[in-house]
Structure formats: structure tokens, C-alpha cells
Amino acid sequence: MHISDGILETQWILFWFLISAIFIAVGLRIINKRIRDETAYLPRISLIGAVVFVISVWHIPVPVTGSSSHPVGTPLAAIIIGPFPAVVISAISLFFQAFIGHGGLTTIGANTFSMGVMGAFTGYIVYRLLKNITPLWFCAGMAGFAGSIITYITTALQLALSLNSQNVIKYWELYSFGFIPTQMPLAFAEFAFTAYVVKYISNIRNEIIDAESMDRFTITALVLMVFIVSIIITGVYTGKGDLSGIDGTIEALASPGLNPDGIGVRLMARFGEPLGFAFVGIAGGLITGYYWTGFRRET
């Protein structure tokens, strides 16, 4: 979902910009209307934007695979604020991430389509299909899982269409299989995270959680997340190879003769990755903290 500058051909850069722009335009209209009708919608969308911004830029090492990958966050956003607004906050997040070495400015259209359009809409459709026949936590979790996987399968297709037009299906499968080993564990993590957050917000809204205690679901979800995080942390010490990210690994496979470059890559080379991630954490924390009071008041 973080295709770098210098990878896609010009016609595909323009194509994905055009497709994503349509969804962004619709999303902006919906956001403006919702803000006029419901003043609390602004802090809600701002908070979710901060969540997507931080989640989708976070390198998480995966054991054994020797690489790392990113959660998506857009299925959760689609459930809470709607799929079209989720596309808008995805585009904004990807724009800022391009300045810290994730993705690029010329590929915002393609990355927005994979993460914002496909990730958000897949998650939202799965959520709606399962909502009336499964528990809330399960349909939300499946939304997170499906959106996470589809995002990277879409990225694989974008690479195949641009770089291997002579045999798109073969290379789509090749790049998809390259993403899956690293992304699948994170998809399960996103299942747990999305399920917990949606269930938690639902409980607060309906005032059925006792402030002094936790119900069985909350305890189970927290234990599951601690377990998954423990496995991921283990990956930092047991993983072999380049942990810089599966995005770059697949790009090197797809276009070994090209040299991905962009403003973010140059800034990271100059100032180092820790400074970039510090910026992401501080910015996300400030935005989240600023709008947290309004979000709590609204819920």
C-alpha cells in the first residue's frame, strides 16, 4: 500500500489519481454535509484520521519472514465514519507519510485506491453483510481482516498492471504471494484490534460497560492483543534479513532495475528513520489528544 515514487508508469499514475479523486470528491461532500448536520462529526473524523495516520505508517516486524509490514486501519475508519470519508483521511495520511519515507507523492493516487478505496469499502461491505447474522465484534473483526488482505492484493495488482503488462495474472499472483506471509499475521492482529475498538465504542454509546470492571469480551480481546503483540515483539529479535518493510521487498522483486526515490526517502537518508517516526508519533498524539475530549463527549 506504500508504492514508492519511480515505480509506476506515468499512465498508471494518472489513472489511479483519477479513480481516487472521484472517491475523494464524494467523500469531501459527505464530510461537509455531516459537519453541517452534526457538529460532533468533526472531532470524530479527526480522531479516526489520526488513528489511521499512525497505524498505517507503523512498521511491525513479523517473525520468521525477515521483514515487516503495516496494518491498514481503513476498515475501522469505514465502520465508524463511513467508507467515502475513510478514503479522504487515507489520502491525507498517505500525503504526510510520503515525507517520512513511506510511499511517494506521485503514487498517492495508487496508494489511496489500495488502502483507502479497496481497504475501506471491502471492510465496510463485509461488516454490513455480517452485521445482522454474527456478533458485532466478529463482523467488525472480519472487516479488519478482509480489508487488510485486500489492500495488499490490490497493491500487487497495481504493480503487475504497470510493470508486467505482458502477463498480469502471473505476476499478480507472484506479488500477492510475496505480501501474504508477512501481511497475514497482521491481518489477524487487525481482526482483534478492529473487533475490540468497535465493540468498545458500541458499549460506551449504549452505556453497558461498568467503569469499575471489564466484561468477558474485553478481557478476551485484551489478552488476544497482548498475545499477538508479544509474538510481533519476538519478531524484532528472531527475524532474519531486512526488516525495513515488505513494500520495498516486493518493489525490488517487481522492478529490480529501477531506483525508487522520493522526498521521503531523501529526508530519511538525511535525518534518519527515528526522527521520522518521532514526527509521526508526536503529530498523531497531538491530533488525537486535541480531539479526544470532543469525541468522548459525543459518545
The CATH number assigned to the domain holding 238 equals 1.10.1760.20
Whole-angstrom distance between the N-terminal and C-terminal Cα of the chain? 32
In a domain, 5, yes or no: no
What amino acid occupies position 149? I
| Total number of domains in the chain | 1
Q: Answer whether residue 146 shows pLDDT above 90.
A: yes
pLDDT exceeding 70 applies to what percent of the chain?
A: 63
In a domain, 198, yes or no: yes
In a domain, 41, yes or no: yes
In a domain, 2, yes or no: no
205-249 pLDDT tens trace? 554 333 334 455 455 555 655 665 565 555 555 555 455 566 666
Write the DSSP symbol of residue 134.
S
| Pairwise CA distance, residues 255 & 107, whole Å | 15
Q: Answer whether residue 202 shows pLDDT above 50.
A: yes
In a domain, 256, yes or no: yes
32-84 pLDDT tens trace? 888 888 777 777 787 788 778 777 776 666 554 455 677 888 999 999 888 99
Helix H or strand E encompassing 60: strand 60-62
Residue range 275-280: average pLDDT?
A: 61
Which domain covers residue 112, as residue numbers? 10-298
What amino acid occupies position 226? V
CA atoms 93, 229, 141, 137: torsion sign: negative
In a domain, 4, yes or no: no
Which pLDDT band holds residue 114 (cuts at 50, 70, 90)?
very high
In a domain, 246, yes or no: yes
- Nine-digit cell string for 238: 528472531
Helix H or strand E encompassing 185: helix 168-206
- The alpha carbon of 264 is separated from its chain's Cα centroid by a whole number of angstroms, namely 18
This prediction has a pTM of 0.76
In a domain, 147, yes or no: yes
Q: Give the lowest-confidence range in 58-72, 107-121, 133-147, 150-164.
A: 58-72
- The alpha carbon of 31 is separated from its chain's Cα centroid by a whole number of angstroms, namely 20
- Nine-digit cell string for 37: 448536520
Residues in the chain: 299
| Pairwise CA distance, residues 63 & 76, whole Å | 25
Q: Per-residue DSSP letters for 277-296?
A: HHHHHHHHHHHHHHHHHHHH
